[in-house]
Structure 1
Amino acid sequence: MKKIDIRNKRSLSCLVIVLLLTVTSCSDDYLDVDAYGKPVTENFYKTPEDMDQALGAAYYPMSEQYTSYQQVWSSDLFMGDIGTDDHLKGGLKLGDVPFLLQKQQFNLTPSNPYLEARWRIQFNGILYANLILDKIDAVEFDDAERKKELKAEAYFLRAYYYFYLVNFYGGVPLYDTALSFDEVNLARATEEETYAFIEEDLKKAIQDLPSRFDKGSEYLGHADKGAALGLMMRVSLYQNKMDQVKTYGEQLFMIPYDLVDLTSIFQPEGEWNTESIFEINYSSNTSKLGTSVPKQMMPRTPEDKGFGFSQIKEDLINAYETGDPRLDAYYYSISDSSIYGTGWYNRKYSWAPFSNYQKPTVGGLLNSEENVRVIRLADAYLMYAEAIYTTNPTTAIEYVNRVRTRARENGGAGNLIPADLPLTLTGDTLRDAIYKERRLELAGEGLRFYDLLRTGRASTVLSGLGFQSGKNEVMPIPYSQIQLSKGVLTQNNY
């Protein structure tokens, strides 16, 4: 897939921007769009090659989300874990990065710049996807199948960006086309309307996307049918639409995914393995094509050269049984009393000596090549188990035990931990076992806060950490966007 560098000349509104597209992987040619104040399409979006470049631009905000500072701190790998019972903000000291501390203490303000970064990134992606969907039908393709796939990828991307918004802010303005400056100021849709919009896009994506297993290695990085099905499972789960989780899960399981060795999932050799349903690609062979996630999470020592954010709380470490191989596979500890925090770190996003990823040598340490894992099969198995535990507990236990068996086998011959869940489990006891398994298997992947919210446990688990029911379920709408809308956008309970 081509990598596209998009820069904004002006940011009056997230959907009123100017595109500067630079193809970085193939040549130094570029298209410099010189109009000001609205998307310019008269001289672009004319050929299949244009549409391929436009697709690269539409993927760019997805990768931008995990780059430096405000962008990465507004991502779910930080906002989805910090402030929960799993992760501490970390950093140099308690007051380090006060805007991130607001999330830990559940006192976010509408002027927090990370809220603005998240809003801007997603709506940029929505604009780029809409420009493709607006223009592609008029473009003649020799390969009709590629045209269909490209359009389906745009639907996936628009759904992805809207999902990233609705989880965070609740209902947001819905744009199904690229609008001019004087049309762009729309009121917020409801949360239900936003989810319905996402589902319709994903249905279109599922219908026309191929499976990456039917494509060559050059397709890796593109959204495929499995990615759309996996995202639809998560979208359905967050709405408690368990029948849909079951339906789309069963379609996903017809694709030849398989669990892999526990210690390889988050390693270079594990990128796009058979457990991987969707990843965001990064490269460190060129400046600014990498991610800053490992740099942000590595220990703050002269040797490790990290910033020490999003450290693991003892409560999570203590949730594992002694002998569970995931404890060593997913975390590591540093004993240094001079470092602020718990001393426990996320091995899932690390570099040597704690993983096989090496420190980047091009573009600085914020330019790591490690792919961000968005959806993987173990998550899909546990979503499916949660969807069917009341109607088919035996099968639900089977899917949980697949995850536990994989973990156990990584402990070597004779290891008995974690044992299979007994087949006699039912009702709330089984439900709670599934909830716990999600925590143990998926910790550090940005899902904990949302799992607590959607299952109604946030008010209990997080109340002692500052969480307020009726307020902190969603984040503030950025103050800058309220101002730009001249009051059309309404604020959440902040």
Structure 2
Amino acid sequence: MNNINIRFRKGIRFFSVVLLLGMTSCSKDYLEIDSFGSPVVDNFYKTPADMEQALTAAYNPMLEQYTSFGQVWSSDLFMGDIGTDDIEKGGLSLADIPLLLQKQEYTLTTNNSYLNFRWDIQFRGVLYANLVLDNIDQVDFTDANRKKEIAAEAHFLRAYYYFNLVTFFGGVPLYDKALPYGKADIPRASKAQTYDFIEQDLIKAIQDLPSRFTKPSSFQGHADKGAALGYMMRVSLYQNKMDQVKLYGEELFKLPYELVELNTIFQPLGEWSKESVFEINYSSNNSRLGTSVPKQMMPRTPSGQGFGFAQIKQNLVDEYEANDPRLDAFIFNESSVYGTGHYNKKYSWKPYSGYAIPTIGGQLNSDQNVRLIRLADAYLMYAESIYNTDAPTAIQYVNKVRTRARGTALPTVVPDLPPTLNGQALLDAIYHERRVELAGEGLRFQDLIRTGRAKTILAPLGFVENKNEVMPIPQTQIDLSNKILSQNNY
């Protein structure tokens, strides 16, 4: 919602010709315009301003992921969590958007175009980040510190895009530099190699990124040290590297983050609050710099004016304890053309939140920021990492989240976990807390996968073990790679 997003988008059209350097997934049309691209590349990367523009381009795919139709439907908020015990496809009918229905019913095909959107967006992000890293040393900077920051942001972005790939597809081709089209077809790395690549980028980002708390508000939207630490916690958690989760969590907690009042987190006032570890900036204007997430999720009613996708399941509603204020803070009910009638208040408009329905640029152009990591998530990741080695401290961190949820209510509302809780009972309490606190934030599917619970919880919904943990590699990408890319178990 801040103006940094507008700056991020300026110059994208010009800079996108750098994509001509290419990598896997390029087409014949791509080659036909090589002669136009080379002079632009040769004349670029000359000044610090060029590198700022190059970095701007590297952020663009991050924003694109949550914009219109196919792009947003390929995100964790939709293709990610649809088909879990939390999220139902919704829409106008069962047949509405059959490519999302494939995820809900675990009948994904290799020709699902939303998976191709996911692949394409992330690899363009990887390419743009690589172009920054490939060229930054040839530019003379008067501000050596900013040079380090730009490189660190590019390392963060490359890690971010690869994380979005490995969670959907498993191991993917690893590019540590931009390659010419004819040399870009390389095999997939293993899942472990992909995660190692991500970790190495995040280590570099953590080393050189500043904290946003030391920067002016105009820095908001840039990756900072807290964002890199938060993602390192998540990356480590997904690999069950609990010692690393603990290590990086303790570094994150040295920064001045704080939990904020429950009803402000997903409001305009909550954007870049002290609870926000990282989020994506959007703005609503004639340039259509907004997100389509609220439009996709709001009810298909005159008051909702949405499309009614990613509805909340009754199973999730029933998970909340009696009188838990988070139920009303995070979920609202409205008559539904089709689906459960439970909607995600975290991404909504008035009267369910303080965000107004966009009046310019179309209703797919919301100015609501997308929250990617917040402190409550970090607290719960940390608690999970130490539950078996330091139960009392794990309980303290879970109770921080529960105390915030309770607010000014009596201690009997969302009561603190008892200090004697330990073992599986404590782990189950942490799982419960993650589910009700992070509901509708695109994390449920991966939480079930990484903890081995998907085979039990999702099997009645069609999930097949040793298959549906990842999604098919888009057939389009396999064909474009001259069959070098191998398929998952589909």
Q: Matches of 2:40 and 2:380 in 1, distance apart?
A: 45
Post-superposition offset of 1:302: 1.9
Q: Matches of 1:178 and 1:360 in 2, distance apart?
A: 38
- Equivalence for 1:445: 441
- Equivalence for 1:476: 472
Q: Matches of 1:139 and 1:287 in 2, distance apart?
A: 31
SS at match of 1:52: helix
- 1:200 maps to amino acid: Q
With a CA cutoff of 8 Å and minimum separation of 6, indicate the structure with the bigger relative contact order. Answer: 2
Post-superposition offset of 1:75: 0.2
- Equivalence for 1:71: 71
Q: How does 1:83-98 map to 2 (within 5 A)?
A: 83-98=83-98
Distance 1:235 1:101, change over 3 A: same
Distance 1:221 1:291, change over 3 A: same
- Equivalence for 1:153: 153
- Equivalence for 1:28: none
Q: How does 1:137-286 map to 2 (within 5 A)?
A: 137-286=137-286
- 2:80 maps to amino acid: G
- Equivalence for 1:404: 402
Distance 1:38 1:446, change over 3 A: farther
SS at match of 2:310: strand
Distance 1:36 1:120, change over 3 A: farther
The question of whether the paired residues in 1 share the 8 Å contact of 2:24 and 2:480 is answered with: no
TM-score, with length taken from structure 1: 0.94
Q: Deviations over 1:350-388 (max 9, x none)?
A: 000100000111110000000000000000000000000
The question of whether the paired residues in 2 share the 8 Å contact of 1:38 and 1:180 is answered with: no
Q: Matches of 1:404 and 1:77 in 2, distance apart?
A: 24
Post-superposition offset of 1:473: 0.4
- 1:211 maps to amino acid: S
Q: Deviations over 1:204-257 (max 9, x none)?
A: 000000000000000000000000000000000000000000000000000000
Distance 1:3 1:17, change over 3 A: farther
The question of whether the paired residues in 1 share the 8 Å contact of 2:26 and 2:480 is answered with: no
SS at match of 1:96: coil
Distance 1:347 1:251, change over 3 A: same
- 2:191 maps to amino acid: E
- 1:278 maps to amino acid: F
- Equivalence for 1:390: 388
Q: How does 1:54-65 map to 2 (within 5 A)?
A: 54-65=54-65
- Equivalence for 2:481: 485
- Equivalence for 1:346: 344
SS at match of 2:319: coil
SS at match of 2:140: coil
Unaligned runs of 5+ in 2: none
- Equivalence for 1:364: 362
Post-superposition offset of 1:335: 3.0
- Equivalence for 1:380: 378
The question of whether the paired residues in 2 share the 8 Å contact of 1:272 and 1:279 is answered with: yes
- 1:311 maps to amino acid: Q
- Equivalence for 1:25: none
Distance 1:38 1:160, change over 3 A: farther
Post-superposition offset of 1:17: 8.7
The question of whether the paired residues in 2 share the 8 Å contact of 1:14 and 1:124 is answered with: no
With 280-289 and 64-73 compared, the bigger mean Cα shift is at: 280-289
Q: Matches of 1:347 and 1:17 in 2, distance apart?
A: 41
Q: Which runs of at least 4 in structure 1 moved beyond 4 Å after TM superposition?
A: 7-18, 36-40
The question of whether the paired residues in 2 share the 8 Å contact of 1:15 and 1:179 is answered with: no
Q: Deviations over 1:190-210 (max 9, x none)?
A: 000000000000000000000
The question of whether the paired residues in 2 share the 8 Å contact of 1:79 and 1:446 is answered with: no
Post-superposition offset of 1:123: 0.3
Distance 1:424 1:145, change over 3 A: same
Q: Matches of 1:39 and 1:490 in 2, distance apart?
A: 35
- Equivalence for 1:4: 9
The question of whether the paired residues in 1 share the 8 Å contact of 2:187 and 2:485 is answered with: yes
The question of whether the paired residues in 1 share the 8 Å contact of 2:25 and 2:481 is answered with: no
Unaligned runs of 5+ in 1: 21-32
Post-superposition offset of 1:39: 9.9
The question of whether the paired residues in 1 share the 8 Å contact of 2:448 and 2:454 is answered with: yes
Q: Deviations over 1:12-51 (max 9, x none)?
A: 8556599x9xxxxxxxxxxxx9745779521111100000
Post-superposition offset of 1:4: 2.4
SS at match of 2:41: coil
Post-superposition offset of 1:303: 2.3
SS at match of 2:56: helix
Q: Matches of 2:23 and 2:37 in 1, distance apart?
A: 9
Post-superposition offset of 1:286: 3.2
- Equivalence for 2:124: 124
- Equivalence for 2:49: 49
With 282-291 and 251-260 compared, the bigger mean Cα shift is at: 282-291
- 1:422 maps to amino acid: P
- Equivalence for 1:24: none
SS at match of 1:84: coil
- 1:182 maps to amino acid: G
- Equivalence for 1:27: none
Over the aligned positions, Cα root-mean-square deviation in angstroms equals: 1.8
Identity %: 66
Q: How does 1:4-43 map to 2 (within 5 A)?
A: 4=9, 6=12, 16=26, 35=35, 41-43=41-43
Q: Matches of 1:39 and 1:443 in 2, distance apart?
A: 49
- 1:427 maps to amino acid: G
SS at match of 1:374: strand
Q: How does 1:91-106 map to 2 (within 5 A)?
A: 91-106=91-106
Post-superposition offset of 1:413: 4.2
Q: 1:418 aligns with which of 411, 414, 417?
A: 414
